[in-house]
């Protein structure tokens, strides 16, 4: 069983919610982001969303855009990110979900990427601008290597599409709870419970919620509703502010711990 | 003259896009999930509008009385004499209201938005022509208008920024990425994702996710339909060659589309060759790009070997874009349209020659097409005919052109 699926299975048995932090690979540099992954695992991360930097991240707000630009200044490529995954994998079993835009994947080659991801020890891929209708070849390649394909669902996704999208998801279904791009918000949306149960009526797969979850209070609230809690921009902002500190990894650990604990109801 | 049906032989020989919004391997709907529903809605509303008699009547009326269509097909006699070859005709889109073909699409889409009950309009703009056209249509129809524009373009095109503000639009200066058209589109898409329930995105060219390339093509193809009637009237026969500049490609598709089925007619798309065909110095996607996906559509994209989008350069802001409409990618691969490029210098030369020979100051975008006419017409016979799309007027560009041509004039 794939590490992501196995982790959700364990959590289910323990009655716990997954804590899923997002960071941009190569921000502030590759070695540092590898240390951050390990620190997040230590803090209680169940799946790491590891972002592949892209020049034109249309789905992201300013915080993650800037992290992408910082990484691209060092010339970080998808190949470098896979190298990072491989090094992390020597030290940790934490499930890793790569997060990317489609063009770098196309340029790499979908077949080649699936093979190299499996070789590096990555566990799945989420492509923000690839709806499942456009991703048949992509899904076949990832499936063939036992890698998870996570697709997005949103408040505007109709029931008919929800059925299709969730069917194509493996590992978990990602629910984008807020209209708009990634970024911190003052509060969690009011209709979250309703929306998550709408998805759960249509699929038995775990549902993780992301976009706008930035505090332990948010995480605790969402954990009561969904199977996974994704925290991205708040963490990426923290890394941006502390990127040059020698003890970045320890600081990230201390920042993430309360979020992880909140997600797990501790 | 402007009946809304396209030439039946085009539709017979070119059954694209298919139900998935594809032109061969190109096009599609590569968008974040939040937008999927909006695209479905737009597809439905657009399909409905095509058979809605009241809608079509209103559009036709506005095209005639507000936009000033049909625009003339003008015989460029002095240029023809000077070149000594084919007869050169200009389709005068520069005489359409707001000074470019952009109004054809902006007006159609704003009417559509109103039909859909969406009263907030967003748009991107490079040189400012699409922004001005959208701001104009919004003023006419009483819609709120927000235009995203790269901060570098805001600086380069101050006059158009003022025009948009005068028309009641809010111009948002975009500081991310390369601060030009591509980044303005990114920001418009981000706005749309956040406000999709109340907002329609008037995308300005035949790019982006389906159905935008189709909708824009349909609103622009009135250009070619008029040319068909006008050239028959003037010459009693169809032209031999059509020439248009290609940024996203809407004025080119507009001219070409009705003639796609007339296989004897040669079609030339002219991209921006910039200063040279090396990465970052041009915007000739068919010379330096490869298959890729940018901003919703599979097409040709200028990019590095890792799939990061390349930077571009052109003297003309309207052609300065890293990708090209997916239908052009299809026409490129099938060979139906030949794509070439003109350098900054050649375009500036065309700009001046047109001004002096014909008393028409063309847009720097259209000047790329003129550059191709200057090369091509002398090699053709005197009884042959070229129709070139004069996609826009050059008033907006005089400052930019003066920097190159008469640097002493600029304070």
Residue B127 confidence class, pLDDT cut points 50, 70, 90: confident
Q: Which residue has tokens 């992880």?
A: A260
Among A110, A129, A136, the residue to mutate for chain B (most B Cβ within 10 A):
A129
Among A66, A80, A107, the residue to mutate for chain B (most B Cβ within 10 A):
A107
Q: What is the mean pLDDT of residues B266-270?
A: 98
B235 is annotated as an active-site residue = no
Distance from the Cα of residue B29 to its chain's centroid: 20
Using CA atoms, how far apart are residues B218 and B254, in angstroms rounded to an integer? 8
pLDDT at B2 over 60: no
Q: By the 8 A CB rule, do A120 and A89 touch?
A: yes
Residue B7 confidence class, pLDDT cut points 50, 70, 90: confident
- Look at residue B32 in the predicted model and tell me its pLDDT: 94
Q: Work out whether strand A228-231 and strand A207-210 pair parallel, antiparallel, or are unpaired.
A: parallel
Q: What is the pLDDT of residues B202-254, one digit of tens each?
A: 999 999 999 999 999 999 999 999 999 999 999 999 999 999 999 999 999 99
In this complex, do A56 and B295 lie within 8 Å of one another by their Cβ atoms?
yes
Q: What is the pLDDT of residues A122-177, one digit of tens each?
A: 999 999 999 999 999 999 999 999 999 999 999 999 999 999 999 999 999 999 99
Q: What is the pLDDT of residues B54-84, one digit of tens each?
A: 999 999 999 999 999 999 999 999 999 999 9
From A158's Cα to the closest Cα of chain B, the distance in A is 7
| Chain B residue numbers touching A79 (CB-CB < 8 A) | 306
Phi then psi for B289, rounded to 5 degrees?
Answer: -105, 175
- Give B67's DSSP letter: I
A49 is annotated as an active-site residue = yes
- Look at residue B399 in the predicted model and tell me its pLDDT: 86
Q: Rounded mean pLDDT of chain B?
A: 95
- Look at residue B411 in the predicted model and tell me its pLDDT: 62
Q: Which of B343, B358, B391, B396 is catalytic?
A: B391
Q: Which fold has domain A3-10+18-261?
A: TIM Barrel (3.20.20)
Residue B4 confidence class, pLDDT cut points 50, 70, 90: low
Q: What is the pLDDT of residues B355-398, one digit of tens each?
A: 999 999 999 999 999 999 999 999 999 999 999 999 999 998 99
Using CA atoms, how far apart are residues A62 and A58, in angstroms rounded to an integer? 10
Using CA atoms, how far apart are residues A202 and B316, in angstroms rounded to an integer? 51
Q: What is the pLDDT of residues B17-38, one digit of tens each?
A: 999 999 999 999 999 999 999 9
Q: In what order do the strands lie in the sheet with B22-23?
A: B22-23, B26-27, B297-301, B290-294
- Cα dist from B188 to A31, A35, B140, B169, whole Å: 35, 36, 22, 14
Q: By the 8 A CB rule, do B20 and B30 touch?
A: no
The number of C-alpha atoms within 13 Å of A226 and in the hemisphere containing its C-beta is: 32
Cβ neighbors of B162 (< 8 A, separation 6 or more) are none
Using CA atoms, how far apart are residues B182 and B311, in angstroms rounded to an integer? 9
Distance from the Cα of residue A251 to its chain's centroid: 20
Q: By the 8 A CB rule, do B254 and B225 touch?
A: no
From B64's Cα to the closest Cα of chain A, the distance in A is 38
Neighbours of A53 (CB within 10 A): 30
Q: By the 8 A CB rule, do A92 and A38 touch?
A: yes
Using CA atoms, how far apart are residues A42 and A260, in angstroms rounded to an integer? 10
Task: For residue B158, give the H/E element and its range.
Answer: helix B158-166
Tokens encoding A18: 């997954």
At how many degrees (to 10) do helices A30-43 and A78-91 cross?
Answer: 40
Distance from the Cα of residue A33 to its chain's centroid: 15
Using CA atoms, how far apart are residues A254 and A260, in angstroms rounded to an integer? 10
From A16's Cα to the closest Cα of chain B, the distance in A is 28
- Which 3 state secondary structure label does DSSP give B107? helix
Q: Which residue has tokens 């298959």?
A: B291
Using CA atoms, how far apart are residues A107 and A104, in angstroms rounded to an integer? 5
Least confident of B33-37, B120-124, B352-356: B33-37
| Chain A residue numbers touching B305 (CB-CB < 8 A) | 107
Q: What is the pLDDT of residues B275-328, one digit of tens each?
A: 999 999 999 999 999 999 999 999 999 999 999 999 999 999 899 999 999 999
Phi then psi for B105, rounded to 5 degrees?
Answer: -80, -45
**pLDDT under 70: residue ranges of chain A:** none
Interface of A with B (CB under 8 A): 54-59, 61-62, 65, 72, 77-79, 102-108, 128-131, 133-134, 151-158, 161, 165, 176, 179-181
Angle at B397 between CA B268 and CA B359, to 5 degrees: 75
- Which 3 state secondary structure label does DSSP give B333? helix
pLDDT at B176 over 90: no
In this complex, do A131 and B33 lie within 8 Å of one another by their Cβ atoms?
yes
| Chain B residue numbers touching A165 (CB-CB < 8 A) | 33
Size of interface A-B (CB pairs under 8 A): 115
In this complex, do B37 and A157 lie within 8 Å of one another by their Cβ atoms?
yes
- Cis status, amide bond into B369, omega within 30 of 0: no
The domains of chain A are located at 3-10+18-261
CB contact, 8 Å: B280 with chain A?
Answer: no
CB contact, 8 Å: B28 with chain A?
Answer: yes
HEC profile for B254-277? HHHHHHCCCCCCEEEEEEEEECCC
Q: By the 8 A CB rule, do B71 and B93 touch?
A: yes
Using CA atoms, how far apart are residues A24 and A62, in angstroms rounded to an integer? 13
Using CA atoms, how far apart are residues A233 and A64, in angstroms rounded to an integer? 6
Q: Which of A60, A116, A184, A227 is catalytic?
A: A60
HEC profile for chain A? CCHHHHHHHHHHHHCCCEEEEEEECCCCCHHHHHHHHHHHHHHCCCCEEEECCCCCCCCCCHHHHHHHHHHHHCCCCHHHHHHHHHHHHHHCCCCEEEEECHHHHHHHCHHHHHHHHHHHCCCEEEECCCCHHHCHHHHHHHHHCCCEEECEECCCCCHHHHHHHHHHCCCCEEEECCCCCCCCCCCCCCCHHHHHHHHHHHCCCCEEEECCCCCHHHHHHHHCCCCEEEECHHHHHHHHHHCCCCCHHHHHHHHHHHHHHHHCCC
Cα end-to-end distance, chain B, whole Å: 47
Using CA atoms, how far apart are residues B247 and B325, in angstroms rounded to an integer? 8
Q: By the 8 A CB rule, do A252 and A14 touch?
A: no
Q: By the 8 A CB rule, do B385 and B377 touch?
A: no
Q: By the 8 A CB rule, do A239 and A23 touch?
A: yes
pLDDT at B5 over 80: no
In this complex, do A78 and B195 lie within 8 Å of one another by their Cβ atoms?
no
Phi then psi for B153, rounded to 5 degrees?
Answer: -70, -35
CB contact, 8 Å: B37 with chain A?
Answer: yes
Phi then psi for B143, rounded to 5 degrees?
Answer: -110, 150
Using CA atoms, how far apart are residues B109 and A123, in angstroms rounded to an integer? 43
Task: For residue B36, give the H/E element and its range.
Answer: helix B36-51
- Which 3 state secondary structure label does DSSP give B58? helix
Distance from the Cα of residue B353 to its chain's centroid: 23
In this complex, do A129 and B31 lie within 8 Å of one another by their Cβ atoms?
yes
């Amino acid at each position: 069983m794939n590490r992501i699926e196995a982790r959700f299975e364990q959590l289910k048995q323990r009655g716990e919610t997954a804590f899923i932090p997002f960071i941009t690979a190569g921000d502030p540099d590759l070695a540092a982001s590898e240390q951050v992954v390990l620190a997040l695992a230590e803090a209680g991360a169940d799946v790491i969303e590891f972002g592949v930097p892209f020049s034109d991240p249309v789905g992201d707000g300013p915080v993650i855009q800037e992290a992408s630009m910082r990484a691209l200044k060092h010339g970080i490529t998808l190949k470098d990110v896979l190298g990072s995954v491989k090094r992390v994998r020597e030290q940790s079993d934490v499930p890793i979900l790569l997060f990317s835009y489609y063009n770098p994947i196309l340029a790499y080659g979908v077949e080649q990427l699936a093979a190299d991801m499996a070789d590096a020890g990555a566990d799945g891929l989420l492509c923000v601008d690839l709806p499942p209708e456009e991703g048949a070849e992509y899904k076949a390649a990832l499936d063939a290597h036992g890698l998870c394909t996570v697709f997005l669902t949103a408040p505007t996704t109709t029931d008919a599409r929800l059925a299709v999208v969730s069917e194509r998801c493996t590992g978990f279904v990602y629910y984008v709870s807020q209209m708009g791009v990634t970024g911190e918000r003052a509060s969690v949306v009011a209709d979250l419970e309703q929306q998550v149960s709408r998805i759960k009526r249509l699929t038995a797969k775990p549902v993780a919620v992301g976009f706008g979850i930035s505090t332990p209070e948010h995480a605790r609230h969402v954990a009561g509703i969904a199977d996974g809690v994704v925290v991205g921009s708040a963490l990426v902002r923290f890394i941006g502010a502390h990127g040059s500190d020698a003890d970045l990894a320890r600081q990230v650990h201390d920042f993430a711990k309360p979020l992880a604990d909140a997600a797990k109801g501790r | 003259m402007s009946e809304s049906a396209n030439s039946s032989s085009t539709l017979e020989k070119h059954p694209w896009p298919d139900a998935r919004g594809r032109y061969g391997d190109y096009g599609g709907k590569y968008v974040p999930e939040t937008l999927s529903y909006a695209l479905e809605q737009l597809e439905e509303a657009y399909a409905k509008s095509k058979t809605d008699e009241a809608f079509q009547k209103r559009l036709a009326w506005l095209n005639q009385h507000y936009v000033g269509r049909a625009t003339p097909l003008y015989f460029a006699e002095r240029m023809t004499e000077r070149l000594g070859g084919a007869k050169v005709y200009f389709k005068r889109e520069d005489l359409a209201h707001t000074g470019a073909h952009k109004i054809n699409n902006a007006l159609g889409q704003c009417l559509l938005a109103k039909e859909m009950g969406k009263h907030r309009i967003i748009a991107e703009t490079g040189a400012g022509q699409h922004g001005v056209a959208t701001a104009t249509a919004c003023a006419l129809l009483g819609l709120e208008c927000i235009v995203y524009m790269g901060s570098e373009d805001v600086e380069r095109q101050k006059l158009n920024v003022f025009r948009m503000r005068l028309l009641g639009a809010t111009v948002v200066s975009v500081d991310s990425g390369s601060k030009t058209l591509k980044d303005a589109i990114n920001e418009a898409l981000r706005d749309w994702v956040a406000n999709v329930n109340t907002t329609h995105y008037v995308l300005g060219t035949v790019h982006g996710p389906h159905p935008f390339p189709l909708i824009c093509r349909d609103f622009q193809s009135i250009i070619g339909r008029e040319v068909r009637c006008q050239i028959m009237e003037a010459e009693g026969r169809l032209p031999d060659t059509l020439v248009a500049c290609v940024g996203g490609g809407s004025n080119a598709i507009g001219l070409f589309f009705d003639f796609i089925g007339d296989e004897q007619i040669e079609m030339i798309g002219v991209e921006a060759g910039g200063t040279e065909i090396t990465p970052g110095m041009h915007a000739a996607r068919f010379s330096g790009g490869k298959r890729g996906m940018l901003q919703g559509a599979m097409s040709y994209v200028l990019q590095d070997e890792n799939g990061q989008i390349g930077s571009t350069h052109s003297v003309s802001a309207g052609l300065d874009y890293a990708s090209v409409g997916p239908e052009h990618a299809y026409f490129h691969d099938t060979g139906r349209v030949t794509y070439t490029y003109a350098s900054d210098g050649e375009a500036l030369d065309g700009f001046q020659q047109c001004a002096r020979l014909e008393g028409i100051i063309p847009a720097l975008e259209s000047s790329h097409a003129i550059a191709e006419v200057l090369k091509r017409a002398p090699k053709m016979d005197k009884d042959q005919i070229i129709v070139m799309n004069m996609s826009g007027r050059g008033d907006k560009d005089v400052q930019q052109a003066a920097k190159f041509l008469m640097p002493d004039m600029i304070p």
